[in-house]
Structure 1
Amino acid sequence: MDRFVSTYAMRLDSKGRMSVPAPFRALIARDGLEHVYCHPALDLPALQAGGARLMAGIDSLIERYPPYSEAREELAAALYGSIETLRLDPEGRVVLSETLKLHAQITTEAVLVGLGDSFRIWEPARFRAHLAEARAKVRALKQELGSQGATRVNRADGA
């Protein structure tokens, strides 16, 4: 596997540790890392996490702006400044800081959701609500794209 995919439900133990799924750990290890980069998502009540690809995406986003520009400095502060390095223990667990847990409102359970180059960590009820909203938007987009395709087919047929 070369992408973070699938959804995993995890529990935090009494010490606040959470297992990172083996497929996710394999991708992190492939990057030569023994930790996960994690930061509060900028526009969602979730955490953004990953390895080298996450950092490369952040680097690419920030580098779109001129050096010393206000936008570049704000993005760098918001992203680099909030990243925490979560060390994987020998059993593949990480400890979420209180700051991270507070942002995502995670207490005893979390859901890890693959996004390709990274993954998100959600409080389960918040993820279910987000997923329902996302699916509704995808259905609407599918209908819109389908109707555009039907119009093109009709026009191609001379209708």
Structure 2
Amino acid sequence: MFRGANIVTLDAKGRLAMPVRYRDEILASSNGRLVVTLDVTDPCLCIYPLAEWSLIEDRLRALPSLREETRRLQRLLIGHAVDLELDGAGRVLLPPRLRSQAALDKRAALVGQLNKFQLWDEAAWDARCAEDLQRLQEPGALPDDLLDLIL
């Protein structure tokens, strides 16, 4: 289970050093193998342990292929998916095209999302957090079923 936000640095080659606290779980659950793809709703990347990504692929495969929405989702998620593997130093090499799509440069935020990570440009992450906090302070911003989860 991945949680927390970590500010990380991408090196000149686009390698991301996975924080030590996540490495054992990634090695245990997926033998160090990950899949990175676009996030279809936020300007960031999603990084899944291979075992979790396999579940996503199974669900995508089960969708009716005659629906345009299904094909669009499959094109974006599967079409941009790239296999990664932790190297001996716990790093993964992010493809230039995906780094560009998410506007990733040097400093990024690796954000645990339970079964996956989101990888944001640090400034975009800070802006989104500020926006989310502001919106959640508005009256009625959270429906009761969501509010009950945290109270």
Pick the TM interval, shorter chain: 0.7 to 0.9
Greater fraction of residues in helix: 1
Instruction: Indicate the residue corresponding to 1:103 in structure 2.
Output: 101
Instruction: Indicate the residue corresponding to 2:75 in structure 1.
Output: 77
Q: Distance in 1 between matches of 2:14 and 2:27?
A: 22
Structure label with greater radius of gyration: 1
Matched, 1:59 2:58: yes
State the number of aligned residues. Answer: 144
Cα-Cα RMSD: 2.4
Deviations 1:2-38 (A, max 9, x none): x110111111223322101123222221223322211
Deviation at 1:145? 5.2
Provide the identity percentage.
26
Deviations 1:44-88 (A, max 9, x none): 21101111224414533x256325544333322221111111221
Change (3 A) 1:140 1:92: same
Deviates more, 1:122-131 or 1:27-36: 27-36
Deviation at 1:139? 2.6
Q: Distance in 1 between matches of 2:114 and 2:81?
A: 19
**Runs of 5+ in structure 2 lacking a partner?**
none
Change (3 A) 1:138 1:12: same
TM-score, L = length of structure 2? 0.81
AA in 2 matched with 1:131:
C
TM-score, L = length of structure 1? 0.77
Instruction: Indicate the residue corresponding to 1:119 in structure 2.
Output: 117
Q: Distance in 2 between matches of 1:108 and 1:27?
A: 25
Deviates more, 1:127-136 or 1:10-19: 10-19
